[in-house]
């Protein structure tokens, strides 16, 4: 049981800690809205990681083989989604800056937090490499072939907890950044930097066939 717990925590942090386009978007979202919205979005990312970990322990190598042909199309869908998010974020920040109509830091209504959660969940689920990552870990470990239901439950739960804890840290950092950069130029700079990072990562994804 302890081995499954440690394996799940390591797997969760292993997939969550490298900050890519989703992480950049999460930080920017928290900076522009509120910690509540950021945490909701963070839980969406963690839920996707947990679902992929669950799929890995249930489907194993058969699931990985089935997803491999879809990596190419899903990669391009992910590229388009990231590019659209980057463009929308930059355009919105510029429009608000020019019109001096920047939103305040007041907590958004609950539907805003829910939409943020669902949006980040969907974006993260577009990455089939995540499930292949978890499949490789599950099949490569001794527990992967002979683990019982309890060990698998502990593994998936640990993945979710690890991913959620890291994503919440990113959201908290974004919220803190938003409090520091409260002026028009500060908010504009935050949005443009995040959009630039997402655009660069989308281009990298598009130009590197093996990268998802």
Task: Give CA separation, 196 vs 27, 62, 118, 203, in Å.
Answer: 13, 37, 23, 11
Classify residue 37: in a domain, yes or no. yes
Classify residue 94: in a domain, yes or no. yes
Classify residue 126: in a domain, yes or no. yes
As a dihedral over the C-alpha atoms of residue 53, residue 55, residue 60, residue 64, rounded to 10 degrees, the angle is -100
pLDDT at 39 over 90: yes
Classify residue 112: in a domain, yes or no. yes
Q: Confidence class of residue 167 from pLDDT cuts 50, 70 and 90?
A: very high
Classify residue 29: in a domain, yes or no. yes
Average pLDDT over residues 116-132: 80
pLDDT at residue 169, as a whole number: 92
Classify residue 73: in a domain, yes or no. yes
Quote the CA–CA distance of 14 and 78 in Å, as a whole number: 21
User: Both ends of the chain: CA-CA distance in Å?
Assistant: 32
Q: Confidence class of residue 66 from pLDDT cuts 50, 70 and 90?
A: low
Residue for token digits 């305040």?
Answer: 104
Number of domains in the chain: 1
pLDDT at 111 over 60: no
Contact 204, 211 (CB under 8 A): yes
Domain of residue 133: give its range.
Answer: 2-207
Percentage, residues of the chain above pLDDT 90: 15
Task: Note the pLDDT tens digit of each residue in 174-197.
Answer: 888 776 655 566 667 766 776 776
Percentage, residues of the chain above pLDDT 70: 61
pTM recorded for the entire structure: 0.66
> Could you tell me the two tokens for 54?
């669950």
pLDDT at residue 61, as a whole number: 56
The b/e string for 11-43 (b: 16+ C-beta within 10 A; e otherwise) is bbbebbeeeebbbbbbbbbbbbbbbbbbbbbbb
Which helix (H) or strand (E) element contains residue 36? helix 35-67
Classify residue 212: in a domain, yes or no. no
């Amino acid at each position: 049981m302890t081995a499954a717990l440690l394996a799940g925590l390591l797997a969760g942090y292993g997939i969550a800690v490298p900050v890519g386009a989703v992480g950049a978007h999460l930080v920017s979202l928290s900076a522009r809205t509120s910690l509540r919205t950021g945490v909701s979005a963070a839980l969406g990312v963690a839920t996707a990681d947990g679902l992929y970990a669950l799929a890995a322990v249930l489907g194993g190598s058969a699931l990985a083989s089935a997803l491999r042909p879809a990596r190419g199309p899903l990669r391009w869908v992910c590229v388009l989604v990231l590019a659209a998010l980057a463009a929308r974020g930059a355009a919105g920040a510029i429009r608000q800056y020019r019109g001096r109509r920047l939103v305040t830091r007041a907590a958004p209504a609950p539907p805003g937090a829910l939409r943020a959660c669902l949006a980040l969940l969907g974006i993260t689920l577009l990455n089939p490499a995540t499930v292949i990552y978890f499949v490789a870990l599950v099949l490569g470990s001794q527990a992967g072939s002979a683990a019982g239901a309890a060990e698998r439950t502990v593994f998936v739960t640990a993945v979710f907890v690890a991913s959620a804890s890291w994503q919440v840290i990113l959201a908290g950092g974004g919220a803190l950044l938003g409090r520091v950069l409260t002026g028009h130029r500060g908010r504009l700079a935050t949005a443009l930097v995040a959009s630039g990072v997402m655009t660069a990562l989308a281009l990298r994804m598009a130009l590197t066939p093996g990268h998802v």
